[in-house]
Amino acid sequence: MNPKIPTTVVNLFLALALAACSAAPEPGRTAAVLETPAWSGTTLQRDARGAQAFESIRDQQRAATSVAPIRMAVYALEPSTVAALRAEARAQHHLSFAAFRAANHGERRTATAGNREFIANQLSGAERFVDRALFHHGREGAELAEAVYLDRARAYVDQTELSASDGRSALYPYKFRRYRSAVQAIDSSGRPTAAAVEGTDQIAVAFAQEIDGIPVIGSGGKIAVHLSLAGDVVSHEASIRRTAEAVAEVDLLGANDAAAEAWRRVVERGIEPRQYVLVRSEFGYLRLGRSSIQTVIAPHYAFVFEPLEGVVGRRIFEVVPAVTDTATLALLAEDARAEAARKAAFGSAEEDERP
Local structure of 283: helix, strand or coil: strand
Q: How far, in Å, are 25, 52, 299 from residue 251 at the CA level?
A: 9, 20, 10
The whole-number pLDDT of residue 18 equals 34
Give pLDDT tens digits for 259-273: 999 999 999 999 998
Q: Are residues 169 and 233 in the same domain?
A: yes
Q: Is the pLDDT of residue 160 over 90?
A: yes
Residue type, 352: D
Tell me the pLDDT band of 331, cut-offs 50, 70 and 90: very high
Domain that holds residue 223: 104-241
Mind giving me the DSSP string for 23-77?
SPPPP-EEP------SS--S---TTHHHHHHHHHHHHHHHT-TTSPPEEEEEEEE
Please report whether residue 52 resides in a domain.
yes
Does residue 17 lie in a domain region?
Answer: yes
Asked if residues 199 and 180 have their Cβ atoms less than 8 Å apart, the reply is: yes
Per-residue model confidence as pLDDT tens digits over 280-291:
999 999 999 888
Last residue in a domain, options 241, 256, 285: 241
Per-residue model confidence as pLDDT tens digits over 273-319:
899 999 999 999 999 988 899 999 999 999 999 999 999 899 999 99
Is 175 found in the same domain as 131? yes
Does one domain contain both 266 and 231? no
What is the reported pLDDT for 6? 43
One domain for residues 59 and 109 = no
256 and 161 in a common domain: no
Indicate the range of 43-47, 62-66, 218-222, 241-245 predicted with least confidence.
62-66
Lowest mean pLDDT among 17-21, 230-234, 325-329: 17-21
Residue 183 has pLDDT above 70, yes or no: no
* 219, 241, 263 - which closes a domain: 241
Distance CA 319, CA 324 (A): 14
Give dist(CA 206, CA 44) in Å, integer: 9
Residue 160 lies in a domain: yes
Residue 93 lies in a domain: no
Please, which residues have CB within 8 angstroms of residue 101's CB and are 6 or more apart in sequence?
109, 110, 111
Instruction: Tell me what pLDDT residue 196 has.
Output: 64
**Of the residues 217, 241, 265, which one is the last residue of a structural domain?**
241
- Asked if residue 86 belongs to a domain, the reply is no
Are 66 and 108 part of one and the same domain?
Answer: no
Whether residue 99 lies inside any domain: the answer is no
CA 268 to chain CA centroid, nearest Å: 27
Q: Can you give the pLDDT at residue 200?
A: 82
Q: What is the mean pLDDT of residues 146-155?
A: 94
pLDDT of residue 3: 42
CA distance linking residue 119 with residue 128, whole number of Å: 5
Residues 163 and 277 grouped into a single domain? no
Average pLDDT of the chain is 84
- The radius of gyration of the chain from alpha carbons, rounded to an integer in Å, stands at 22
Angstrom CA distances, 146 to 46, 87, 143, 204, stand at 15, 28, 9, 10
**pLDDT for res 346:** 73
Shared domain check, 308 and 221 = no
Domain presence at residue 178: yes
The better pLDDT of the pair 193, 206 is held by: 206
- Name the H helices within the chain: 7-10, 14-20, 48-62, 80-94, 146-159, 255-268, 326-346
For residue 4, the SS3 value is: coil
Question: Considering its fold, how many domains does the chain have in total?
Answer: 2
Which residues touch 107 (CB under 8 Å, ≥6 apart)?
A: 5, 121, 122, 123, 346
In a domain, 98, yes or no: no
226 plus 120 within the same structural domain = yes
Residue 180 reports pLDDT greater than 90: no
pLDDT tens digits, residue range 211-255? 999 999 999 999 999 999 999 999 999 999 999 999 999 999 999
Q: Please report the pLDDT score of residue 92 as a whole number.
A: 95
